[in-house]
Amino acid sequence: MMAAANVFQNRIGGSWQGAQNGQTFPNYNPATGELLGSFPLSTEADAHAAIAAARAAFEKWRLVPAPKRGEILYRVGELLTRHKEELARIMTQEMGKVLKETRGDVQEGIDMAYYMAGEGRRLFGYSVPVELPNKSGVALRDPVGVVACITPWNFPVAIPTWKMFPALIAGNTIVFKPASDTPHSALRLVELLYEAGLPEGVVNIVFGSGATVGEALISHPDISVISFTGSTESGRHVAMEAAKSLKRVSLEMGGKNAVIVLDDADLDLAVEGILWSAYGTTGQRCTACSRLIVQRDVQDALLGKLVPRIERLRLGNGLDEQVDVGPVINAQQLEQIHAYTEIGKGEGATLVIGGEMVRDGDLARGHFYRPTLFKNVRPGMRIEQEEIFGPTLSVIAVDSFEEAIAVNNNTKYGLSSAIYTQNINRVQRATRDLTTGIIYVNSGTTGAEIQFPFGGTRGTGNGHREAGIAGLDVFTEWKVVYTDYSGKLQKAQIDG
């Protein structure tokens, strides 16, 4: 909510309020440098107030029948649909990706609202036969309590809905700490939740730094679950701190995803998938393709088609419908991406295209980096192993299908893989042998659908999944109820 011109507030326990210390932080457009507004630089006390509000609301919200909770989410879906263009434009202004992508970001939230609303009439438990006569057993899902949702800036509507909507339908309450680079998108989402009829205090939003607000959430005894998406380093810290109080933790972290192009692939189709996966969202996706593993026999032919397409990608303000690639989120990330370009050159990789910040014309006001491609990249190089989170693609040539699979799997991450081939036997072997949480066949590394579990292996996560039915697991406890109607004491597993 806007309290004064472009000055926004936290929502805690049904009221809008600034940080208790009165401090704010600015929100800038990364394409233009324009000041978009100011948000509360909240304190630990603000976070504690939000937790207390969520805890108080939980005692009533958990008793609302799940189908009634679902009706609110259906209305959220309708409101997100009605406000889709508004939300998309807010998102493009504060994080940079082009409108067709931010519209898709909102659509993910719409899809999740309707999907999880339907779970209000399911929330399946199960009943199976028990071993004694005149006795029954049923397993039920119970809400866990207060959930801390800590989300990143690259999907500022979609990712919060992946976390909040399953938590809400299960009967939990929420303290939401969005990324400081995209606070307005998060605030509008919360406003629409309340417009849909959410009871006061069920969702609380607190803006501020991870070092202050995030740490307060991680350490507070009344937080039962932490759902975090961000870097692997930050996720590891969350897990270690939360373990001290035995909190349940769901982590979605980094990726170093690869597209494999074999010698029988449709190269034109592969080029389309590589372009979208590597340079969509300016490479700022956990599912972005940052490695292109190609059989040596077709490398020159593939790059001959791919490089001219990269050259034609148009950089600019994402509000311009003709733009293909928007800005990098902020100056720090811009510097980090360029540092990896220098690392790649220093390691002996060949810079084919890009590799520079844009310092001329209107784009100089924003944080723009030219789409970049390296070839002659060897397995084990830093640019082949470390997450860059920018528009940088490394090409690794291999001699065989088996080598391609081995190179793909040899990273500390395990989110998404893609393979281009027209050989069904290779497809079957690849789906068996690729060790990532998501595999695409003849498509790019990105484009998950909300009815399936989303997540990865190794350093990408800690085993939990978001979306689909699996998305409910971290936000529910299993409760088993036995009813003995025999009228006497029956002892299970006792002989005689």
Q: What is the CATH number of domain 2-253?
A: 3.40.605.10
d(C-alpha 224, C-alpha 249), whole Å: 9
Whether 480 shows a pLDDT value over 50: the answer reads: yes
Q: How many CB atoms lie within 10 A of CB 191?
A: 16
- Where in the chain are the domains? 2-253, 257-441
In our burial notation (b when 16+ CB lie closer than 10 A, e otherwise), range 219-241 reads: ebeebbbbbbbbebebbebbbeb
**H-type alpha helices, 359-437:** 382-385, 401-409, 424-433
Q: Cα separation of 266 and 440, whole Å?
A: 15
Q: Which SS3 state, helix, strand or coil, does residue 67 take?
A: helix
Sign of the CA dihedral with 64 first, then 67, 70, and 74 last:
negative
Predicted local distance difference test score (pLDDT) of residue 2: 44
Provide the pLDDT confidence category of residue 266 given band limits of 50, 70 and 90. very high
List the Cα angle 39/45/49 in 5-degree steps.
90
Please choose, from the candidates 194, 219, 83, 107, the residue with its C-alpha nearest in 3D space to the C-alpha of residue 155.
107
pLDDT 10s digits, 183-224: 999 999 999 999 999 999 999 999 999 999 999 999 999 999
Tens-place pLDDT, residues 407-450: 999 999 999 999 999 999 999 999 999 999 999 999 999 989 99
Are 91 and 24 in contact by the 8 Å Cβ rule? The answer is: no
CA-to-CA distance for 359 and 305, rounded, in angstroms? Answer: 28
Q: What is the pLDDT of residue 300?
A: 98
Asked if pLDDT for residue 4 goes beyond 50, the answer is no
Cα–Cα distances (Å) from 480 to 128, 142, 159, 215, in that order, read: 11, 10, 31, 34
- Supply the CATH classification number for the domain 257-441: 3.40.309.10
- pLDDT score for 25: 98
User: Is it the case that residue 50 has pLDDT exceeding 80?
Assistant: yes
Amino acid letter for position 64: V
**Dihedral (CA of 228, 233, 236, 237) sign:** negative
Q: Are 321 and 99 in contact (CB under 8 A)?
A: yes
pLDDT for position 492: 82
Using CA atoms, how far apart are residues 463 and 474, in angstroms rounded to an integer?
10
The reported pLDDT for the residue numbered 3 is 45
In angstroms, the CA 94 to CA 333 distance is: 15
State the catalytic residues.
252, 286
